Each structure stands twice: as structure tokens, then as C-alpha cells.
Amino acid sequence: MEKIRLFVLVVVLFSWVGLGDVSPKCEILLKKIPVRFSQDQRKVEFTVETPTAIQKALQDAVARVQKKNINDPQQYREALQKEIARVRAEQEAKQSVDEDIKNKKLKFSDQEDSQKQIDKLVLKRTFDILKNFQRKSVLFVDTPVLGIDGKPLNRVIPLVVDHHGAYAPQNGLNNSGAQIIERLVQARERNKNPDGYININKAQKDFSQTLFGSDPSEVILSSDNLADGAEVIALLRNPELQKRIINDPDLAKTLTEAGRFTDFFVFSGEGYEKTNDGDRSQEAIQLSKAIMQSHSELLKEYGIPFGDRIVALNDPKKEKELLEKAIKRSEELLLAFTEPKAAQREPAMERVRKLAADFNSAREASVVEAGKMHQKFLVEIKGDLDNKPSLIEALNQFTYGHKPVATGNQFADWGASPIANARDKSKPIKFELAGDNPNDKGKPVILAKSGSRTVNLQPLADALNSLVRVKKETELKSQGKSDQEISSSLANLTPQFTARGTDLVFSFGGHSLTRREITQVVAETLRAKGTTLVP
């Protein structure tokens, strides 16, 4: 059956087997860059961003199902899938009719209003598409997911595999890769005979059903970054990798540790590498560094200057191309690392070792650059803080500040600051702030734990978002908005600075504050609460 090309991505919440119980309630998850691949052909494709008009149509579809008061989760899911299918089909039908009109392929009768003829044609094509509609499954990988109102969805969403914020598992350092590997291990245990024999094929099928339901016609994966998304997608679409993980519990542990190093420990300095010097840990760290180096090379090739978010390209064709390359490289490195035959593994591991060594060299260069930028930062902040001694002292006491390190190796740059900090005076908070002058607005900013001391950075996020709110209220008043309009607008204002746990506050850009405003808010908050935030 010909695969339908859909132009809307929505996800419904229901109970996945093995992923916990979810009440029969639905929320719509909209993504800017969803990735879709056919299970048979393994082709990665992108859908387009969901327009506002379609969001409204989807909201209406959910409302129609909710009015039916269906209590059974399976029946609820099926009813919702039908409604969503209709919305998808209608949008595709409208697009095809619009294209035919644009290309002058349609002729209209003079006996009936042309818009009525268009509506009838859209309706006919909608039903034609629905006849061929196939059930699809969706999984969000290492991606912050927003509801239709732009706000983060509630905690414990089985379809979101992520380690950040509201999506973080209860057991802490369990990144998206670790969660997928854990599902493979669980499938292994469920399909182990009393004599210890593992039915690999049954375990693989069990794993797939846990994530995607029974025999989906197509699987849609969504990720907006390379660091964890590419590696996890490689795991999800390579049966050989899945077999090797199911077969070898020790390998599962090593891959889990590698993923955690990529997502957590590389950002906390050299402590983890030096403390965990066993063979398995060192191999895991080596694999992690190889994948990060590979990703950094791709980010440099495609000209993404800050972060690993493929959305920065703002070009679906290039986004698809970049992510596909990252998935392929991750797949190659994982296959080399997990090769069970020693004679074949040794030559395959040469590239892993080479990339890891390149990462170490690049990171050392980044550490040197971070130190230079910190010294420059100490001079610049005096102007941002109007040379107020108490604010300068507070910032110097608690933060190791600098502009984003940008040597051209993104992951090496990210891991450099805590190492440079430790070699200096080891301040408890990294303060990374972009901007060439005090009035630069909306530039990336990161406040993060640096070193071993306990910190609580949530009040910094609260203070920054409070100033955003004050500025927005002032702007609305200057526009002559009524008190009711101002109240409504502020009630729907999404926080521009995100706190994840107590160790991280960030904005990748686009907020409404200047460099000077951010520096002053951080300094004033630390002056007032520093000893409480860093006990």
C-alpha cells in the first residue's frame, strides 16, 4: 500500500505496554522537526511545521473525542486516531487541491460557486486518503516537548524518552539512550526460559511492541538534536545492534555508561574520567568521546555555531541530511564497538580510538581558550555592573564566567569550562553568556553547576523570568492595552529561561533580556542569596 505523505505530526497519549499506566486522557504534542522513517525501507523523512490553523483543527478533534466520555484506553486511542487521521487527510487534500489550482490543472463549472466546487473536491480527496490510512506510532527522543499551548507537558509521558526536566525518570541519571537500552534488557528478561535461553527474536518483537504497539505500519521518531537523538535512532532502527544488546548484559551496561557520559559527566570536568578508571568505564568513555567528536565534525561542516540543535539550520532538506549523516555515523561506531568477534572488532575499533584521541586534543585547546575568555569576561562585567563593587564581588565569588567557547568543536567546547575552572580557583557555577556588547539582546546563556559543590540555581531562573515579565508588562502598558488584556497576556507568558533540576539554567537564545540585564540579575541574586544557593 502506498505510504501516505502527511504534513502534520500529532501524538496521542495512551498506555504503552511496559511503560507505565496513563489515564485515557489526550494531549497533542507538536514538533517542528519530526523525523519519519518507513520500517520496511528505512527512509528518514521530515514533515513540515504544523501551522496554527491545523493546531486549531487538532484541538477540535481532541474535543470531539473527549465529549464521547470513553473510559477504555484502547477504545479512546482508536477513536482519537480516527479523528486525527481525518485532520491529517483533510490537510493533505487541501494542499493537493491548492497545488492543482496553482498549476491550473482544475476547471470549474460556471453553474456552481467555485469555492463550493473546491470544498467538494477537498472532501472527496480527504475520503480517498482515509481509505488508505495506515496506523502510525510516534516516539520523541531527547527532545523537550510542548503542548498545543506552548507549555511543557505534564510529567511521566511514556512517548517522551528524555532526561530533562519534567521528563527525567525518577532514578536520576537515565538519559534517553539508557532508557531505550533498559527496555531492551527488560524484553530480554521477559523472554528468558527457565534454563537461561534467550529467544532473541521474541525479545526484539517484545521491545518493539513496548514502544510502538503491535505491528505499526510506520514509526515516526522525533529529535531536535544530535547528541542523543542520533545515537538512539541508530539503536531503534538497527536490528543487529538490538540483538547484541539483548544478548550481552555487560554490553548494555557499557553503552548505558557511554550515553550518560555524553549527556552528563563530560560537562562536569575530568573527575569522572579519573575516578572511573576500570576497563569497562574507560571503554564507555572512549565510545562517548568518539561519537561526540563525530557529531562535532558534522556540526562544523554544516555551520551550526552554538549547540547541537539541527533546527538552527532552518532548512528541512539540510536538517534531514545532517541528522541522517549523524545517525549513520553513530550506527557505524556502535556496530564497531559492539562487534562480538574479536578478530573483526580490533580493526573496527581503530576509528573509535582515533576519534576519541581527536576529541581529547580538541578539548585541551578549548580549555586554554576558556581560560583566556574568562580573563576577558572579568574586565567586561565591571561595565555591565556599573562598577559596583558588591555586585562584582558576588559574581567573582560564585561564578566562572566567559562567552561561549567556540573553537569549532562543539562538544569539546562544552566540556572545557569546568576543566578550566578547576585549574583556576574552582568556582561553583559556570556562567556562560554570549554577546559582544552590554545591549546585545536574546543571546544564549547557560548557568550550570561546575565542580563538586551543591548548588541550587532555580532562584536564578526565577529572577530572570521575573524581569522578563516586568519588561513585558511595561511594553503592554506602553501599547495602551487594558488591564484585562495585560493580565491575560502575562498569564500565558511562557518562561524564557529554563531550569532543569537545581544544576542548570539556560536559554539558547531568543529571550527579551540584554547581556547587561542578565549580568545584573545574576549578580544581584547571588549577592542576596549566594550563600543559600551555594551552601
DSSP secondary structure of 363-393: HHHHHHHHHHHHHHHHHHHHHHTTT-HHHHH
Q: Render 296-326 in DSSP notation, one character per residue.
A: HHHHHHTT--SSSBGGGG--HHHHHHHHHHH
Above 60 in pLDDT, residue 12?
no
Q: Residue 14 pLDDT more than 50?
A: no
The answer to whether the CB of 337 falls within 8 A of the CB of 238 is: no
State pLDDT tens for residues 347-406: 888 999 999 999 999 999 999 999 999 999 999 889 999 999 999 999 999 999 999 999
Query: How many CB atoms lie under 10 A from the CB of residue 278?
Result: 9
Q: Residue 457 in contact with residue 525, Cβ under 8 Å?
A: no
Mean pLDDT score across all residues of the chain: 78
Half-sphere exposure of 286 (CA within 13 A, CB side): 16
What pLDDT, on the 0 to 100 scale, is given for residue 45? 35
pTM: predicted TM-score of the whole model, two decimal places: 0.71
* Residue linked to cell 502510525: 136
In this prediction, residue 159 has a pLDDT band, given cuts at 50, 70 and 90, of: very low
d(CA 488, CA 472): 12
DSSP 225-243: BSTTHHHHHHHHH-HHHHH
Q: Which amino acid is at 471?
A: K
Each residue's pLDDT tens digit, 32-85: 333 333 333 333 333 333 344 555 665 676 677 778 877 765 566 566 667 766
User: Would you state the pLDDT for residue 139?
Assistant: 58
- Checking if the pLDDT of 147 tops 50, the result is no
Looking at per-residue pLDDT, the higher value among 29 and 252 belongs to 252
In this predicted structure, the answer to whether residue 16 has a pLDDT above a threshold of 50 is no
Percent of the chain with pLDDT over 90: 41
How far is the C-alpha of 48 from the C-alpha of 40, rounded, in Å?
Answer: 22
User: Is 293 a residue whose pLDDT tops 90?
Assistant: yes
